[in-house]
Amino acid sequence: MTHKIAVLPGDGIGPEIMEQAVRVLKALDLDLSIDEAPVGGAAYDLKGHPLPPETLALAQASSAVLFGAVGDWKYDKLPREHRPEQAILGLRRQMGLFANLRPAILYPELASASSLKPEIVSGLDILIIRELTGDIYFGQPRGVRTAVDGQFAGEREGYDTMRYAESEIRRIAKVGFESAQKRNRKLCSVDKANVLETSQFWRDIVIDVAKEYPDVELSHMYVDNAAMQLVKAPRQFDVIVTGNIFGDILSDEAAMLTGSIGMLPSASLNSSGQGLYEPSHGSAPDIAGRNIANPLATILSAAMLLRYSLGLPAQADRIESAVRKVLAAGYRTADIFEENTEKVGTAQMGDAVLKALAG
């Protein structure tokens, strides 16, 4: 069976890190058909839209999407609907990619890259599950209007709507519990139930879903405390499940605990197993085209793609162990370089992973 994969390199360092990930996928000798399409600012320049219809159609017709990164300062002045970020938001919404899995793992070789003390982060292995198609990101109504009543009547005001439907909470909670079952069976649901109605409802539904998973230990935490606990004692967490906006913020924080955001992949899944896989880092336009970006997060995203959308866990393991070998052998891109290691460029890191795969 041929697996159809859409490759969307995007902007900034996207194309160069993607090139290495595609080399790795091709080296596995699988039956893959790989098609590339423009996305983000690159697509805007080429076709006048960050998510052109052909790109969306290709993504929707594929088993999985491998996504690089989008965004560049030069597009910041465009109207919102033409900004590169709309591409990723559009793909999430149009493909129904509601479950975002963001692992934060500390590789032992990179322990000193973290800004936290080694004794706090060593062995860190957290999975953040972020709901990705609801919440204040997509809630209607939203906009800018003239306030009709209250203290600020007559003034212009900006507004967004935080909302979660029961079925949306149930399905992401299930992903949380099922992921926890495959790990250390601890799930922490993060909300702001002391203030927000949406959050209190979220908490009530999560508690109800928990009845189906008596083997998982469920806890609840307010998001401000969770932000604190992540830097104070991050190893208390196994799986965290949370809404879109809290997950956006906490997943960046968790990624930074590892000191190497250039190492972290992510998966965004829909209910039919289709997925979009992307590095957790951004497009880093300041270092684009210089062969210094770290391709490992994208290579590891390709591994997640094989595991979650193509059902090829053994092939995913192969990539992941090749990456571990490369780190153990001392190869480092600039972002994770330290004394007594060997600094390599983007393409050389790709070469090293290919060699480790073969050996």
Site of interaction with ligand IPM (CB under 6 A): 85, 88-89, 248
Q: Does 248 bind Mg ion (CB under 5 A)?
A: yes
248 is catalytic: yes
Q: Is 182 a catalytic residue?
A: no
Per partner kind, with CB cut-offs from 5 to 8 A, the member of ligand IPM, Mg ion, none near residue 89 is ligand IPM
* Selected catalytic residue, list 160, 248, 343, 351: 248
7 binds, among Mg ion, ligand IPM, none (CB under 5 to 8 A by kind): none
CB of 259 to ligand IPM, least distance (A): 18
Give the Å distances, CA to CA, from 73 to 42, 131, 286. 13, 27, 10
Cα dist from 16 to 101, 181, 268, whole Å: 24, 37, 22
Q: Which of 142, 160, 134, 161 is nearest to 242 (CA)?
A: 134
Phi/psi at 269 (5° precision): -115, 150
| Residue 19 interacts with, from Mg ion, ligand IPM, none (CB under 5-8 Å by kind) | none
Residue 137 is a catalytic residue: yes
Q: Which is nearer to ligand IPM, 130 or 307 (CB)?
A: 130
Q: Where are the alpha helices (DSSP H) in 192-312?
A: 197-210, 223-232, 244-257, 296-308
Burial of 234 (0-12, 13-18, 19+ CB in 10 A): buried
Does 320 bind Mg ion (CB under 5 A)? Our answer is no
252 classed as catalytic: yes
What is the end-to-end Cα distance of the chain in Å, rounded? 27
Question: Which residue number, 80 or 211, has a Cβ lying nearer to Mg ion?
Answer: 80
CA distance 25 to 4: 12
> Residue 162 touches which of ligand IPM, Mg ion, none (CB < 5 to 8 A by kind)?
none
- Choosing from 75, 107, 137, 331, the catalytic residue is 137
Catalytic residue list contains 192 = yes
Query: How many angstroms separate the CA atoms of 241 and 84, rounded?
Result: 27
Interface residue list for Mg ion (CB under 5 A):
248
Which are the catalytic amino acids?
A: 137, 192, 224, 248, 252
